[in-house]
Amino acid sequence: MSEGLEGVVAARTVLSHTDSAAGMVWVRGVAIPDLVPLGFEGTVALLWNGFAGDGLTGGTIRARFGAARTAAFERLTPWWFAAAAARPPLEALRLALAEQPDASTPEDLVAALTVAVGAIRRAGGGTAPVPPDPDLGTAADLLRMTHGAPADPVAIQALDTYFAVMAESGLSGSSFTARIIASTHASLAASVLGAWCAFTGPRHGGAPGPTLDMLDAAAAVPDDALEDWLVAKLAAGERLMGFGHRVFRGNDPRAEAMRTALQRFGPAAARVAFAARLEQAVGRAIARVKPGRALPPNVEVMAALLLDAVGFPRAAFTPVFAVGRSAGWIAHALEQRAGGRMIRPTSEYVGPPAG
C-alpha cells in the first residue's frame, strides 16, 4: 500500500494537469497565467464546459452566478443567520451548506457559498447582511457584501485572480472527497458539503490563516535570529505553515500570479519581500535540521497575504478560499458522476489474527 495514497492514480480527468518539475498547471489545457485574463467566471466556464452545460462562456457563468446569488440570499433562514452570529465561520459555513437542497445546481452551490461567506462576516460584526448585486462578478460582489460598500478595483482584480488560479487543483483531499461522494450517486450538494469538511483541516484549506500567524510571528523576530528561530521550531517537530506540498516542490505558478497581483498593493508589497526572505531562511533551516531535504513554500504564503490585503480577517480565509475552490469540487463531482465507477478501495488487515 501507499501511505496517504502518494503516487496512486485514482481517477482519469480532463480537468487539469500538473507538471511539478516544469512548475506548471494547465486547467483544461490552459496554463495558469492565461487564466488570469479569463477571470474567475471565465475559468469556471472552462472547467464546467460539457459537464454543467455546453458552449459556456465567462458571460453565461457570470449571469448564472448573479441570478443564483439572488436566489441564495432569499433562501438564507433566520435560524442560520442567528447560528452564523454565534458560531465560528467554519461551523457557520458547514451549516449553510447543510441547508442546501439535494436538487441544487452547480451555480446554486457556488452562489450559496458566496452569499453565506458575505453574510457570516456581517453576522459576526452584528450587522445586517447586504443583498447581492447580480450584475457584478463573484469577487466584486463578495467584497461588496462583506464590507457593505463597493470595493476598490485593485482589490477586486486581486481576489478575481486568486479565485481563478485556485479554482482547480487536481486530486487534493477535498476534490477527492467530492469524487468519492459523487461516485456513490449522492447529490451534488452532498459532494460539496463533504468536500468543504475535508477542506477545513490546517493541512489543506485551513492553512492560510495559520500561515499568516506564522508570517507575523516570524516578522517579529530580528533578521539575524530568524534562521535559529526556524531551526528550533523544526527541531521541536512543528510544521511550518505555508511550506511543503505533496505534489509541488516550489515554483508554483499560482503563487506567482498572486505575487504579481499583490505588487499593486503598497504595504502588502513590503510583506511579499519579507516572505521571500523567510523562504530563504526556511531553506537554510531545513538544511541544518534535515540535511538533503527541501521545504519549499506552497501557495498559501501568497494566498494569505492576498486575502489579508483585500480586507478579510484570517478567520474568513478558509471560507473565502472555498468560494473559488468549490468550482473545482463541482467539476470533479460532475466528471466522476458522468463516467466513473464507485470509488471503493480495500485495506490491508494488520490486526490480531482471525479466530
C-alpha cell at 221: 523576530
Least CB distance from residue 102 to ligand COA, whole Å?
31
Q: Shortest gap between Cβ of 222 and ligand COA (angstroms)?
A: 22
For ligand COA, the nearest residue by Cβ is: 244
Cβ at position 302, least distance to ligand COA in Å: 11
d(CA 98, CA 237): 36
104 vs 169 by CB, closer to ligand COA: 169
Q: Which residues in this chain contact ligand COA in the complex, by CB under 6 A?
A: 4, 203, 207, 234, 239-246, 295, 298-300
Which of residues 259 and 264 has its CB atom nearest to ligand COA in the complex? 259
Q: What 3-state DSSP class applies to 31?
A: strand
Rounded Cα distance, 63 and 245, in Å? 36
Spatial CA neighbour of 136 closest among 160, 161, 168? 160
Nearer to ligand COA by Cβ, of 262 and 302: the residue is 302
Which of 124, 40, 65 is CA-nearest to residue 90? Answer: 124
Q: Which residues are known to be catalytic? A: 245, 300
Burial 78-102 (b: 16+ CB within 10 A, else e): eebbebbeebebbebbbbbbebbee
Closest distance between ligand COA and the C-beta of residue 167, in Å?
15
Q: Do 324 and 137 contact (CB within 8 A), yes or no?
A: no
Nearer to ligand COA, 129 or 244 (CB): 244
